[in-house]
Amino acid sequence: MKIVGLSGSNVGSKTRTAIDYTIQTVKQKYPDIEVALIDLAEYDVQFSDGRNFLEYEGDTKYVAQTLMEADAIIIGTPIFQASIPATLKNIFDLLPINAFQDKIVSILVTAGSAKHYLIVEQQLKPILTYMKAQIVQTYVFIEEKDFYQKEITNDDVLFRINRLVEDTAVLTETYTKIREAKEAEYGF
Amino acid sequence: MKKYRIDESDGLEFGIYTLGDHLPDPSTGERISAEQRIHEIIEYAKLAEQAGIDFFSVGESHQEYFATQAHAVVLSAIAQATKKMKIASSSTIISTSDPVRVYEDFATLDLISNGRAEIIAGRASRVGLYDLLGYNLRDYEALFEEKFDLLCKINEEEIIDWSGEFRPPLTNAKVLPRPQNGSMPIWRAVGGTPASAIKAGYAGVPMFMAHLGGPASIFKRTIDAYREALVHRGYDPTQLPVATAGFFYAAETSQQALKELYPHINEGMKITNGQGFPKQHFAQGIDPHNIMNIGSPQEIIEKILYQHELFGHQRYIAQIDFGGMPFDKLRKNIELIGTEILPAIKKYTRKK
């Protein structure tokens, strides 16, 4: 099983901190899972121009291909201007319309205030659904006050991230098994 | 239909097309050489003609895992190796070519083949050729529209006065040689959506519609949109042919057909498109109303007749060789087409 942690913004440190902790958790709890980090701040990704993702070059191709090869993606996103950041939306635009078919996608969000709680529900999940993701419905919402000097200081957040990792692994494993059994039934 | 060399009293035309893909056979992981692949395509065309198939076409894709970049040259060899069958491109990427050169090539092909050549002009779904040939992907639409218009104009007029954005102007220019009858059929390749089909209708040219899977009824909407656009611009839809093109595979049973074909489509698409073909969707391919013509010969006959009733199209074009399909399987399919499928299709679609 391959899981990619995607930190979806070029700005700030909270999302990266949360994704780092998430990836550490995956590694500790599931040593057999192959896990990779993509922090968009570290890559020079071009804007989508509509071509097939295989036809991009450099960082753009690497990021797109790594995501396409994953069984599960844990997206970390901040909230900018009452929405997801453009960097993250661009990733969706780079990929095919059914890019997340047979993939599990789970979400953690960092935000300045609790007023942004429903943005994932109203803006991010519809995109993931359209792209055919199997979504881990419960996401982890983390506020500014839960961080101190690039550490998560709220135990409740840590507990919730642990559960998110577990849910991601369980859903991926279950879904893959069910799909494989169903595909075997087709007999070809 | 005469202008497009189609005689409806002969029934639905049956064709074969290849993208010219050059992919490994998933059962062995091995890939034949480009040389062998090109020779096999020529051989495939010969077998198709022997089986009574009406039409054979070759596409161009300028990137890895394809072997017929110079599709006009391959078609020229096919012209020499065959006698009766119509031959065409599927598609010629007119956007990144000079329409004058394309017309010269295909008019020559028409003369070599004694009036059997046609052009199907498209925009490319793989865009590697834009970089390779020095075009800007941002001009994707504009390049196609301008160059397709010019290609059609060259076909209609012996002496050309033309100016545009992407090619030096032509003044009092003669594009030679002329095809055997002065002009040749030029089709517009359409990807299956009504939006794309409408443009073919506005241009008043025949439509070649490629499709993957799904219910045939979805594609009926595309064909209706094309014909409505024709009428809207004052063209007569009874005079403009429609061709449909997509996956085909015949075996003793539909289950056998799925088993033999699926790995080629799935693995081939992973390499060329980055994603396989979902098995669930593929399993629906044998449904009598699914547009993919996969099944036993009798099931395929019924599917094609159903599609014909629905679409009223003039030509169906089968893609069998995608994804490193071994040649003996192609031979077997051609044999089933020639002995069982084609006679039945012709019998039931001939206009009395």
Q: What is the pLDDT of residues B191-204, one digit of tens each?
A: 878 999 999 999 99
Hey, are the CB atoms on B274 and A50 less than 8 Å from each other? Answer: no
Find all residues with CB under 8 Å of A137, minimum gap 6, and list them.
none
Extract the runs of DSSP E, i.e. beta strands, from chain A: 2-7, 34-39, 72-78, 104-111, 134-135, 140-143, 147-148, 151-152
Residue B307, pLDDT score:
98
Q: Using CB atoms, which residue from B127, B138, B283 is nearest to A55?
A: B127
Judge whether residue B126 has pLDDT over 80. Answer: no
Q: What is the pLDDT of residues A150-169, one digit of tens each?
A: 999 999 999 999 999 999 99
Q: Using CB atoms, which residue from A52, A102, A183 is nearest to B274?
A: A52
Judge whether residue A176 has pLDDT over 80. Answer: yes
Q: Please work out, in degrees rounded to the nearest 5, the angle formed at the alpha carbon of residue A86 by the alpha carbons of A82 and A91.
A: 130
- The token pair at B24 is 């490994």
Judge whether residue B352 has pLDDT over 80. Answer: no
Judged by DSSP in three states, A62 sits in helix
Q: What is the pLDDT of residues B223-248, one digit of tens each?
A: 999 999 999 999 999 999 999 999 99
Whether the CA torsion B344, B254, B288, B317 is positive or negative: it is: negative
Hey, are the CB atoms on B275 and A187 less than 8 Å from each other? Answer: no
Q: What is the pLDDT of residues A23-55, one digit of tens each?
A: 999 999 999 999 999 999 999 999 999 899 999
- The token pair at B131 is 């970089």
Mutate to test the interface with A, among B275, B280, B281 (most CBs of A within 10 A): B275
Judged by DSSP in three states, A50 sits in coil
Residue B161, pLDDT score:
97
pTM: 0.92
Instruction: Kindly state which CATH superfamily the domain B2-349 is placed in.
Output: Luciferase-like domain (3.20.20.30)
Q: Using CB atoms, which residue from A55, A99, A101 is nearest to B128?
A: A55
**Residues in B touching A97 (Cβ below 8 Å):** none
Residue B257, pLDDT score:
98
Q: Which of B172, B167, B214 is nearest to B193 (CA)?
A: B214
Report the percentage of chain B scoring pLDDT > 70. 100
Judged by DSSP in three states, B147 sits in helix
- CB burial string B291-307: b at 16+ within 10 A, e below: bbbbbbbebbbebbbeb
Report the percentage of chain B scoring pLDDT > 90. 95
| Residue B228 · residue B278 · CB < 8 Å | no
> What is the average pLDDT score of chain A?
97
Q: What is the pLDDT of residues B28-56, one digit of tens each?
A: 999 999 999 999 999 999 999 999 999 99
Nearest-angstrom CA–CA distance, B150 and B167: 10
Nearest-angstrom CA–CA distance, A74 and A15: 12
Hey, are the CB atoms on B283 and A52 less than 8 Å from each other? Answer: no
Å between B114 CA and nearest CA of chain A: 39
| Residue A126 · residue A149 · CB < 8 Å | no
Å between A184 CA and nearest CA of chain B: 10
H/E run at residue A171: helix A155-186
H/E run at residue B178: none
Nearest-angstrom CA–CA distance, B269 and B275: 6
Judged by DSSP in three states, B260 sits in helix
What's the DSSP call for residue B139? Answer: G
Mean pLDDT calculated for residue range A113-127: 96
Hey, are the CB atoms on A68 and B274 less than 8 Å from each other? Answer: yes
Å between B90 CA and nearest CA of chain A: 20
Nearest-angstrom CA–CA distance, B88 and B263: 28
* DSSP secondary structure, B306-327, as one string: HHHHHH--SEEEEE--TTT--H
Q: What is the pLDDT of residues A61-83, one digit of tens each?
A: 999 999 999 999 999 999 999 99
pLDDT range class, residue B131, cuts 50, 70, 90: confident
Q: Which of A178, A170, A177 is nearest to A30 (CA)?
A: A170
Nearest-angstrom CA–CA distance, B187 and B190: 9
**ipTM score here?**
0.86
Hey, are the CB atoms on A102 and B278 less than 8 Å from each other? Answer: yes
- CB burial string B178-209: b at 16+ within 10 A, e below: bbeeebbbbbbbbebebebbbbbbebbbbbbb
Hey, are the CB atoms on A183 and B279 less than 8 Å from each other? Answer: yes
pLDDT range class, residue B183, cuts 50, 70, 90: very high
**Residue B282 Cα to chain centre, angstroms:** 21
Nearest-angstrom CA–CA distance, A118 and B301: 53
Q: Which residue of A has its CA nearest to B269?
A: A54
Among A136-140, B125-129, B275-279, which stretch is predicted with the lowest mean pLDDT? B125-129
Residues of A with CB under 8 A from a CB of B: 49-55, 65, 68, 96, 98-99, 101-102, 182-183, 186-188
Q: Using CB atoms, which residue from B274, B278, B279 is nearest to A53?
A: B274
- The token pair at B295 is 């099944």
Judged by DSSP in three states, B210 sits in strand
Hey, are the CB atoms on A49 and B274 less than 8 Å from each other? Answer: no
Q: Which of B321, B254, B323 is nearest to B294 (CA)?
A: B254
Å between B25 CA and nearest CA of chain A: 17
Hey, are the CB atoms on B278 and A52 less than 8 Å from each other? Answer: no
Q: Which domains does chain A have, with CATH numbers?
A: 2-186 (3.40.50.360)
| Residue B31 · residue B23 · CB < 8 Å | yes
> What is the average pLDDT score of chain B?
96
CB atoms within 10 A of CB B128: 17
Find all residues with CB under 8 Å of A184, minimum gap 6, and list them.
none
H/E run at residue B9: none
Mean pLDDT calculated for residue range A5-20: 96
| Alpha-helical segments (H) within B170-215 | 194-203
Let me know if A159 is exposed, middle or buried by CB neighbors in 10 A (0-12, 13-18, 19+): exposed
CB atoms within 10 A of CB B171: 10
Q: What is the pLDDT of residues B319-342, one digit of tens each?
A: 999 999 999 999 999 999 999 999
- The token pair at B164 is 């545009």
